[in-house]
Structure 1
């Protein structure tokens, strides 16, 4: 999804996992999806860090959990009952995971990482079509904008570039605030979540302050400091 479109979606539809996580098929499905997504995040991490054994294990775990979701005899849960693309989305995710597993087995971890990225989009589109926004969707919205910033050419961070960076930092700050305001159920009481969230917030604040100050060196450093804190938060909770 394009960053601005996702930004508008997040702005307009505040239907988080907490809003649907009641007892029954709605909450059960989203809870099981989140459990599968934990293995998916690990697969992304280990394909990126070059650990084939752990990457393979994480993909196996994801495939097992995803297969249970896709083959549930009860069919689509209520929140997706009217989605004509529900079954196709589940099948597409399974196919992507199969491709990534083959790439890991062939030692192509970089390719597998890029392949796995498509699962994030498939699940995001599923939620978007059905008016659902979870913590993971918010993390993915931030990730899309962060990657755009990391891929932007700010050159020597002159006045014009710093002006663009201020605008980019404002969008990242908005998306980060949305993440902070809608934590996963039970996460605020988890010291590990708090410990991961603080550096993430600090990285965004550092970017805004550097862009506002006009300090080119600080701005360059702040841009480079975005990915690490996000990745740590995403790996465990995203």
Structure 2
């Protein structure tokens, strides 16, 4: 799913997946036809038992994307690409992953449904023509369309895949806008200029995070009852906020939380079907998306500095988790040094941030734990930098993984887990059955 670029763009993931799954053949599909890339792929429902396996393959490619070579030519009506790898293990994983993704396309089981660009590309797939040919070590793909919207999606998606290559996990967990949509940072038609409106958006953000953080954490833990209860509370809060925005005619509030309810409903559907990790990853991009929108609106929300750190931290932790120390070469160590320096710089901003109680109803014990957790994470970053200087691969990987726990505890302090955390250790996963969450108001 990952490619690197030597020219302007990168082929969309959908094309690469189909290409690698069928070597030695040429596949052509004109706009408007049915077949494997037909419309309806974005409508898959139900439990997806293979998601964990497919996700593991994608993460492997994220960790090893440096061994995938690619040349790309952007065309007026699409792209032409050539993708190869000299690493046999990576090549095998590419083929396995691509075969799985091709199956998803045929069966209507899409990935990254929470990402607007991916969702749009799946919906327009019947307007895309493909020509795929095997070449030494890989494939050559030409993807074109006669529809301007589909061409724009192809080329926008190419840039996103380029981001996967350049930034790995940090890019892979972001949501990406559809071409032509108004990005939050350019939303000047809804200026937030008064102190009163800024304070309102800060307060609403805090209220959202109090219920969002538990839903994010508990879906990651994979317990059914507390996860679904947390998602129910989150949806309830969003419904109330939508009503408030409608009653007060608050354009900036609507802009800040636009599309959030749909993401939560999708996460709830996934959790209801038992796919908690995918539900967690569906919720995850909201953290960065809302932080970006707040900044575009001029909202000074102090928890956003934790979101900044999270992006860098995950780019360090995910590749290190379970990695083989023997494969940590000089290039990988150099990348880690740069990432660790970025993490240290952002954490310095965290240390300078005053997290007052308006962001969460912290107990006395929680208040007392904020500073120790901030210091614990500073020490974890220092340990990582020491390990990188000394060059012991085993210690480097251990230190890299260790920067997450103190941060996670600090971030979770700003969520309201009352009535939820207890269930995480005491409620059997099959005891409760919650109805599906709808984005429609009663």
Same topology, TM > 0.5: yes
Match of residue 234 from structure 1: 411
Name the one with the larger strand percent. Answer: 2
- How far did 1:205 drift? 1.5
Asked if the contact 2:202–2:300 (Cα under 8 Å) also holds between the matched residues in 1, the reply is: no
Match of residue 249 from structure 2: 75
Name the one with the larger helix percent. Answer: 1
Q: Which runs of 5+ in 1 are unaligned?
A: 5-19, 81-85
SS of alignment partner, residue 71 of structure 1: helix
Q: 1:91 to 1:132 in 2, by over 3 A?
A: closer
Structure 2 residue 394 is the aligned partner of structure 1 residue 220: no
Structure 2 residue 374 is the aligned partner of structure 1 residue 203: no
Q: 1:55 to 1:224 in 2, by over 3 A?
A: same
RMSD: 3.1
- How far did 1:47 drift? 0.5
Q: 1:29 to 1:88 in 2, by over 3 A?
A: closer
Q: 1:52 to 1:24 in 2, by over 3 A?
A: same
Match of residue 118 from structure 1: 285
Q: 1:185 to 1:32 in 2, by over 3 A?
A: same
SS of alignment partner, residue 135 of structure 1: coil
SS of alignment partner, residue 237 of structure 1: coil
Structure 2 residue 225 is the aligned partner of structure 1 residue 53: yes
Q: Which moved more, 1:60-69 or 1:170-179?
A: 60-69
Larger RCO of the pair (alpha carbons < 8 Å, separation 6+): 1
State the aligned residue count: 216
Report the TM-score, using the length of structure 2 for normalisation.
Answer: 0.44
Q: 1:198 to 1:171 in 2, by over 3 A?
A: same
Q: For 1:99, which of 232, 241, 266 is the aligned residue? A: 266
Report the TM-score, using the length of structure 1 for normalisation.
Answer: 0.78
Q: For 2:214, which of 42, 66, 73 is the aligned residue? A: 42
Q: Which runs of 5+ in 2 are unaligned?
A: 1-162, 172-191, 416-442
Q: 1:100 to 1:161 in 2, by over 3 A?
A: closer
- How far did 1:200 drift? 1.7
- How far did 1:145 drift? 1.2
SS of alignment partner, residue 257 of structure 2: helix
Q: d(CA) in 2 for partners of 1:121 and 1:169?
A: 20
- How far did 1:222 drift? 0.4
Q: d(CA) in 2 for partners of 1:130 and 1:54?
A: 34
Asked if the contact 2:384–2:400 (Cα under 8 Å) also holds between the matched residues in 1, the reply is: yes
Q: 1:23 to 1:185 in 2, by over 3 A?
A: farther
Structure 2 residue 338 is the aligned partner of structure 1 residue 167: yes
Match of residue 135 from structure 1: 302
